[in-house]
Amino acid sequence: MAKILLRERLVPNIHILEVYSPDIARKCKPGQFVIIMPDEHGERIPLTIADWDRKKGSVTSVFMVVGTSTHKLSILKAGDEIPVFVGPLGRPSEIKKYGTVLCAGGCFGIAAIYPLARALKKAGNKVITVLDVKANYLLYWEDKLRAESDLLFISARDSFYDCKDYIPRTLKNIMKKESEIHRVHSIGCTYLMSTCSEATKPYGIKTIVSLNPIMVDGTGMCGACRVTVDGKTKFACVDGPDFDGHLVDWEELFSRRKSYFEDEIQSLCYWEKKEFP
Ligand SMILES: Cc1cc2nc3c(=O)[nH]c(=O)nc-3n(C[C@H](O)[C@H](O)[C@H](O)COP(=O)(O)OP(=O)(O)OC[C@H]3O[C@@H](n4cnc5c(N)ncnc54)[C@H](O)[C@@H]3O)c2cc1C
Ligand code: FES
């Protein structure tokens, strides 16, 4: 059992979760994730490690409420215990001095990109961060990311911030202005990562995405997280989750992520004791 130290709503659909797990806190690196089960009847779901405190022995993730498991997580409180908290899983992101690196994050990816921006900055890169939100009230961790970035842009659909645009167009505008960007990292929903990859492709800038296929064991045994990258079969949990976004078969990923759509709705209705539509 792992003890929850903090579970708090950051913005209407996004929560922070801090769990006491000294072994994971000691070893984890940017780009890795944990597998978590909110209760003993639930399923195993992966969440990216967004921060950690090695002294305190704590590991932090940020999750978006989308279905049964994340709803269950969103009502847990400090002091509660969860039956499964496994990690760190996945290969750590490659951190080197590249020059200028653009980090793009949306929804839960705003938090997931944070340790990466911090490590890239520490490695001597110029870090440009772009945060994508639908509207100003959905933005969180701006200060944390600003502290690790040389430049920070907020791409939103309302007029509250500097770039009133969708993230691919914001990226294109930045790429036109900045003389050289050597690498892009993008984390968030599949749509955000695929459109960011599409935007950078004509510029030939290596774009790393953190893929989020359905996962079960997270250790390469079940095959649930199969993705195709550069025409080859990969398992995102052990070969990734980071991959070259220009080589990912996005159509396949979109379609595999939808495999259990009906069951997911049914599960949520059952859990909320509503009738299945
Ligand atoms: C490596 C990795 C890191 C992730 N990091 C984060 C994160 O930091 N924050 C966050 O909010 N989300 C993250 N996700 C996605 C998160 O795991 C899903 O949103 C979550 O599993 C949904 O579960 P649910 O029961 O609430 O929703 P459901 O209604 O069951 O599912 C909603 C959608 O989430 C996806 N999903 C469902 N079950 C899984 C599963 N077992 N594994 C992966 N995707 C699933 C499916 O596409 C599904 O349509 C990550 C996924 C991966 C693979
Ligand atoms: S989650 Fe089972 S092989 Fe990756």
pLDDT in tens, 256-275: 998 888 888 888 888 887 76
Token pair in block for residue 194: 């695929």
Mean pLDDT score, 73-77: 96
For 142-189, write each residue's pLDDT tens digit.
Answer: 999 999 999 999 988 776 666 667 788 888 888 888 778 999 999 999
**Ligand 2 atom nearest to CA at 221:** 3
- Residues near ligand 1 (Cβ within 6 A): 33, 43, 45-48, 61-64, 66-70, 108, 112, 212-215, 241, 257, 261, 264
Going from the C-alpha of 100 to that of each of 33, 122, 146, the distances in angstroms are 25, 13, 16
pTM of the entire structure?
0.95
Going from the C-alpha of 115 to that of each of 26, 107, 143, 147, 225, the distances in angstroms are 15, 15, 14, 12, 24
Mean pLDDT score, 209-218: 96
**Which helix or strand (DSSP H or E) is residue 243 part of?**
strand 242-244
- The domain spans of the chain are 2-89, 93-206
Q: Regarding beta strands 183-187 and 242-244, do their DSSP bridges make them parallel or antiparallel, or are they unpaired?
A: unpaired
CA–centroid distance, 45 to ligand 1, in Å, is 6
Q: Is the distance from the beta carbon of residue 214 to the nearest atom of ligand 2 less than 6 Å?
A: no
**Which helix or strand (DSSP H or E) is residue 109 part of?**
helix 109-112
The pair phi, psi for residue 71, each rounded to 5°, is: -65, -45
Distance of CA 119 to the CA centre of its chain: 16
Q: 93-206: which CATH topology?
A: Rossmann fold (3.40.50)
Q: Where are the beta strands (DSSP E) in 135-236?
A: 151-156, 163-164, 183-187, 207-210, 226-229, 232-235
Report d(CA 235, CA 252) in Å as an integer.
13
CATH architecture of 2-89: Beta Barrel (2.40)
